[in-house]
Structure 1
Amino acid sequence: MARYLAGRFAQALLVLWAAYTVVFVILHVLPSDPITLQLSAGGADISQLTPAALHDLKARYGLNDPVGVQYVHALWHALHGDFGMSLTQNVSVGSLIADKLPSTLELTAVSLPLMLVGGFGLAHLAVFVRWRPARTLLARLPAVGVSLPQFFVGLLLIQLFSFSLSWFPATGSSGWRSLVLPAVTMSLIGASMLAQLLTRSFDDTWREAYIVTAQAKGLSRGTVQRRHVLRNACLPALTLLGILLGYTVTNSVVVEAVFSRNGIGQLTQQAVLGQDVPVVQAIVLIAAAGFVLANLLVDLLYSLLDPRVAHAAGTG
Structure 2
Amino acid sequence: MNLVRFIAGRVLGALFVLWAVATLIFFAIRLVPGDPAEAILGGPGSQASQEALDLVRRQYGLDQPLLVQYLDQLGRLARGDLGTSYSLKQSVSSVLAAQVPPTLLLASLSLVAAWILAVGVAWWSAGSGRVARAVSSGLEVVASAVPHFLLGSVLIVVFATGLGLLPPVSTGTPIGLVLPVVTLAVPVAGFLGQVTRDSLLDAAAAPFALTATARGEGPSGLFWRHLLRHAALPGLALSGWAFGSLLSGAIVVESLFARPGLGRTLLDAVTLRDIPLVTGVALVSALAYVVVVALGDLAEKAVDPRGASA
Please state how far the C-alpha of 1:70 moved relative to its aligned partner. 1.6
Inter-CA distance 311–93: structure 2 relative to 1 (3 Å threshold):
farther
Please state how far the C-alpha of 1:273 moved relative to its aligned partner. 1.2
Match status 1:7 vs 2:6: no
**1:204-283 matched pairs, under 5 angstroms:** 204-283=202-281
Inter-CA distance 178–41: structure 2 relative to 1 (3 Å threshold):
farther
Inter-CA distance 5–37: structure 2 relative to 1 (3 Å threshold):
closer
Which residue number corresponds to residue 76 of structure 2? 77
**Aligned to 2:45, what secondary structure does the other structure show?**
coil
Question: Please, what is the CA RMSD of the aligned residues?
Answer: 2.1
Inter-CA distance 300–212: structure 2 relative to 1 (3 Å threshold):
same
Partners of 2:308 and 2:291 lie apart in 1 by 19
Gaps of 5+ in 2: none
Number of residue pairs the alignment of both structures matches? 308
Please state how far the C-alpha of 1:303 moved relative to its aligned partner. 2.5
The answer as to whether partners of 1:34 and 1:87 remain within 8 angstroms in 2 is no
The answer as to whether partners of 2:96 and 2:262 remain within 8 angstroms in 1 is yes
Partners of 1:112 and 1:300 lie apart in 2 by 17
Report percent identity of matched pairs.
34
Q: 1:199-243: per-residue Cα shift (whole Å, max 9, x none)?
A: 111011111122112212222122211221111111111111121
Which residue number corresponds to residue 122 of structure 2? 123
Please state how far the C-alpha of 1:29 moved relative to its aligned partner. 2.8
The answer as to whether partners of 2:107 and 2:247 remain within 8 angstroms in 1 is no
How does the TM-score come out when normalised to structure 1?
0.90
The answer as to whether partners of 1:272 and 1:280 remain within 8 angstroms in 2 is yes
Match status 1:63 vs 2:62: yes
Q: Of 5, 25, 28, which residue of structure 1 is paired with 2:27?
A: 25
Partners of 2:299 and 2:151 lie apart in 1 by 32
Please state how far the C-alpha of 1:289 moved relative to its aligned partner. 0.6
The answer as to whether partners of 2:149 and 2:253 remain within 8 angstroms in 1 is yes
Partners of 1:81 and 1:254 lie apart in 2 by 29
The answer as to whether partners of 2:229 and 2:304 remain within 8 angstroms in 1 is no
Inter-CA distance 26–194: structure 2 relative to 1 (3 Å threshold):
same
Gaps of 5+ in 1: none
**Aligned to 1:234, what secondary structure does the other structure show?**
helix
Partners of 1:41 and 1:163 lie apart in 2 by 37
Partners of 1:269 and 1:212 lie apart in 2 by 53
The answer as to whether partners of 2:140 and 2:194 remain within 8 angstroms in 1 is yes
Inter-CA distance 219–196: structure 2 relative to 1 (3 Å threshold):
same
The answer as to whether partners of 1:247 and 1:291 remain within 8 angstroms in 2 is no
Inter-CA distance 274–309: structure 2 relative to 1 (3 Å threshold):
farther
What is the letter of the counterpart of residue 28 of structure 1? R
**1:78-227 matched pairs, under 5 angstroms:** 78-130=77-129, 132-227=130-225
What is the letter of the counterpart of residue 188 of structure 2? G
Q: Which shifted more, 164-173 or 139-148?
A: 164-173
The answer as to whether partners of 1:101 and 1:263 remain within 8 angstroms in 2 is yes
How does the TM-score come out when normalised to structure 2?
0.92
Please state how far the C-alpha of 1:139 moved relative to its aligned partner. 2.4
Partners of 1:222 and 1:310 lie apart in 2 by 22
Please state how far the C-alpha of 1:109 moved relative to its aligned partner. 3.7
Partners of 1:173 and 1:41 lie apart in 2 by 32
The answer as to whether partners of 1:246 and 1:292 remain within 8 angstroms in 2 is no
Partners of 1:311 and 1:90 lie apart in 2 by 56
Partners of 2:171 and 2:65 lie apart in 1 by 41
Partners of 1:247 and 1:145 lie apart in 2 by 14
What is the letter of the counterpart of residue 243 of structure 1? W
Inter-CA distance 307–204: structure 2 relative to 1 (3 Å threshold):
closer
Please state how far the C-alpha of 1:310 moved relative to its aligned partner. 9.0
The answer as to whether partners of 1:118 and 1:191 remain within 8 angstroms in 2 is yes
